[in-house]
Chain A
Amino acid sequence: MQAQPQTTLAALEEIVIRFAPKRQSKSAITRDTHLVQDLEIDSPRMIDIVLEVEDRFGVSLGDIDVQNTTTVGELLDLVERCRA
C-alpha cells in the first residue's frame, strides 16, 4: 500500500534534518524550507539525502531532477512522482 504524502513528508523531514549542517527542529521544516539557504545543504550532503531517500522509498531520482530541487516541498513532489 502506498504511503500517504504526509507520511512521506515526515520521513523526508527526518532525513533532511539528519544530514543538514544547520540544525533545525522538525517543526521548523515546511514545504517551503530552502535546502541551501535555510539548511545549508551543499552538494555532498544532497548526495547523502538522495541515497537515503532512494534506499528508504525504493526509488531512483534523476540527477537533473535532483539538481533542480531547491525546497523540501520540491523534493517531496519528486519522490512522489518517482513512486507513482
Chain B
Amino acid sequence: MKELGWTEKWTLRFAVVALLFLALSGFEGMLMRTQLYDQDALHGMEALLNNVRPGVAEPGTEELFYSMLTAHPIVGVYGFIYMAVFGAFYFLVPYLLDKPVRHRKLVVTNFWLQIIGVMICWASGFFGLFNSLYTLYWPLPVSFDRTPVWGSVFFMVGAALIMVNILIFAFNIFKTVLSKSDSKSYSFFQFLRSAFGIPRLLKLFGKEDKNAPNLDYNGLPVFIVAVGRGSIDTVINAFVLLTAGAVILVYGLFALFGSPLNPAAIDPLLYKNWYWWGLDMVADGNALIYTAGVWYLLIPLLTGRQLFGANVVKTVIMVDLLVSMGVWSHHLLGDTSQPMWMRLLSGQFITWGEFFTMGLTIFASLMTVWLARPVKMTAALKFALGSMFGFMMGGVAGLVQANLGLNVVFHNTQWVVALHAHTFLLTGVGTMLFAVLYALVPMLTKLEFKSKGLINAHFWLWIVGSVIMAYAMGMAGAQGMLRRTLYEGGQFQGYTLVAIIGGLLVSLGFVAFLVNLVGTLGLRNVIGIIVPERWLPEQQPTPAQA
C-alpha cells in the first residue's frame, strides 16, 4: 500500500469507524427483529447484560427493546452515514477544488466529537434506558415516569454534541470552498447564490447579475454545488434539532433539581411541526441531494462521459431546496388536528416534488451510462446503479404513504419504516456509500480490490437481502403490523422470519466486503489506519527487501 497522506489517512479513518457503526447498527437491527419474532428469545442475553447496567433495577424486555430502538437510528444515521459522508467529503471537496481543507484541526474534531456524541446517545439507551425514540414526540421525552431522567439528559447532551459537530463540519466545508488560497475563491454570498441556484433563476427571466458571477458556469463542479446545497439542509436540520434537544435538556435538568417544569407549556402539535421540519431536512434534503451529488460525480468519472443534461441537473439542485423545506407535513398526515390544507399541500403535493427532482436525477445518471456504452461494470458503478434502484424502490413506497388517503392505513406501520426508510437507507444510501468506498479505496491506496467474487457476493447479498427484508416487513405493514410495537402471541411471525433471513443475507454481504477489504489492504494496514504506527509490531521485511 502506498504511503498515505494526511487527508487520505483521515478519510480512511472516518470510513473504518463508519463501518464499525454500521456493524453495531446492523447487530441491533437483527436483535430487534429476533425479539419481534419471539419476545422471549433474548432473555438470557438480557439477564447477562443487566449485570453491566449499574444502578438500574432489572429492566424488562420492553424497556430494553425500546431503548435499543431509540439508539439504533442514531448509530445508523449519525454513526455510519454521517461518518462516511464526513470522510468522503473531506477528501473529495479539496481534491476537486485542488486546495486543502481550510481547518485541519476541525477534521480531527469532527472525527472524535461524532464518535463521542453517538456513543453517549447509545450509552443513554444501553445504560440509561432512554426510550423516547428518535421522534421525541412532545411530551414523551420529558415524561420522566416513562423515560429515565438521567437517560434523557445524557441523550440530549450526546445529540447536542452531534448537532454542533455537524455545524462545525458544514462550516469547515463552506470555508474550504470559499478559502482564498488561489484564484478559485468565491465570496460567501456568491456561493450561497449558487447553492440556491438564484443566478439560474435570473437567467430564466433573461437577467444576468454581472456582479454575482454565475458559479454554475464558472467552473464550480456540480458535486460541490450539491454539497453546498445539501449542507444548507444539514445546517437547518442541526439547528432545529439542537433547539428541540435544548428544550428537553432544560426540562430534564429542572426535574433533576427538584423543580419540574410543566410540559403543557409547549404545544405538542407546534413542536411536532418544528421538529419534523428540521428532521426532514436530513431525509428529504441533504440525503437526497448529497446522494445526487455523488452520482453526478461518480457516474461521469466511472463511464468517462460528461454528465447528460448537466443544465437540468443544476436546476434540479435549486428546486430541491424549495421542495425539502416544504415537505415535512407528510409526517403529520395522521394528525387530524393539522390543517387539511397543510396536509394536502405540504404532506402530499410538495412531497411529489421529490419524485420530479429524483426522477430527473436518476434519468440523467442512467442516460449518461447508456450513452457511454460499452461501459466497464466496475464495482463502484455496479453499486452506484444499485443505489439508484434502492432510491427508486424506497421513493415509490414513500409516495404511497405520503398520501392523504392511503396514509390512513399506512401511518406508523412497518410499511413506513421497512419499505420506505430501510430501503432508502440500506439499499439506497448504504449502497451508494459502498460505491464511494469502492471508488475511493483504490484512489487513496493505489490498491485494487483483490477478489471480484467477493465484490459480486457483497453486491448481490446486500441488494437481495435488503430487498427481502424490506419487502417482507412492508407487506406485514400493509397487513396492519405497526412499527414500534412488540406483538404477543406470534402475530406476523412469518413476515418477521423472512425479514430475519433477509437481514442475515445483508450481514453476509457486509462480511464479504470486510474480508475483501482486509485481504486487499492487509490487516496491519487496516489497523494502522486507526492506531498510531508506533503501536504496531515491526513489519517483517519481504525477501526482496531483505
Co-complex (A, B):
no
